[in-house]
Homo-oligomer: A and B are copies of this chain.
């Protein structure tokens, strides 16, 4: 049985708490928040405290607070013997404890949307290899997708996510703009959008690239460029088309 203390009561903490409620090998023995009222939803399930100096002895402390407060929170509980793990993707492995760790679920969480952790990847890192097994056990008790990723790799992963998510969303946004301009409901593209995403997770995206660029179909490319009014969008169409051609040369 892994005894765990949860530090924080926000979205990530709340979702994790509910996920661990039903696991057999993990028990959340205490939840901390500096405000008593934030602890109310947890009180019927487990012990709570508003003071970091009052936290119980545990195998692992999971810090789910805003990025800017992770380091100072970890420092305040560094007197404890268990593993001190944080859940932030952009905070490096901390040096304040001999048993620091990262326990980072790579997904966006909304307060009232239920989460199936089974499909959410956990990116783990430890300062002490001896802690790998416990941390992995913790993650595997709620998720099927568990990875050990170093702080350096995590930075690159963040960059990769900008392309795969933020920039992808911007492509959707341009697409919606073109639809709106022409009174075509953007909804028409929903099935294709979901299928494209699904295909990329089952294949190497490079291998399943389709469209006029990879076919070097200059007639269609020119025809498309002629139809774009927005100067930014035209530049983007040109640059991405050329880059796809370069990648497949």
Contacts and interface: CB of A to CB of B under 8 A. Distances in A.
Interface of A: 106-108, 119-121, 123, 145, 147, 149, 152-153, 155-179, 181-201, 204-206, 208-214, 224, 227-228, 232-233, 235-237, 239-240, 242-244, 246-247
Contacts of A123: 188
23 contacts: A106-B189, A106-B191, A107-B192, A145-B191, A147-B185, A153-B183, A156-B181, A158-B224, A164-B189, A165-B196, A165-B210, A168-B168, A168-B172, A169-B205, A169-B211, A170-B244, A171-B171, A176-B205, A190-B201, A196-B197, A232-B243, A232-B247, A239-B239
A143 B227 CA distance: 30
Contacts of A172: 163-164, 168, 200, 205
B224 A159 contact: yes
Contacts of A247: 170, 173, 232
A179 B157 contact: yes
B156 A187 contact: no
Contacts of A240: 167, 170, 236
A228 B147 contact: no
Nearest to A121: B188
Nearest to A154: B184
Grouping DSSP codes into helix (H, G, I), strand (E, B) and loop, the A interface class, with mixed when no group exceeds half, is: helix
Contacts of A210: 108, 165-166, 169
B193 A165 contact: yes
How many copies altogether? 2
A164 B171 contact: yes
Given A156-B179, A157-B188, 6 more contacts: A108-B195, A145-B187, A156-B182, A163-B233, A165-B211, A170-B240
* Shortest 8 CB-CB contacts between residues of A and residues of B: A166-B211, A197-B197, A164-B175, A172-B205, A173-B205, A156-B182, A163-B175, A190-B201
A122 B165 CA distance: 28
Contacts of A185: 147
B107 A188 contact: no
A1 to B, nearest CB: 28
A156 B176 contact: no
A201 B192 CA distance: 10
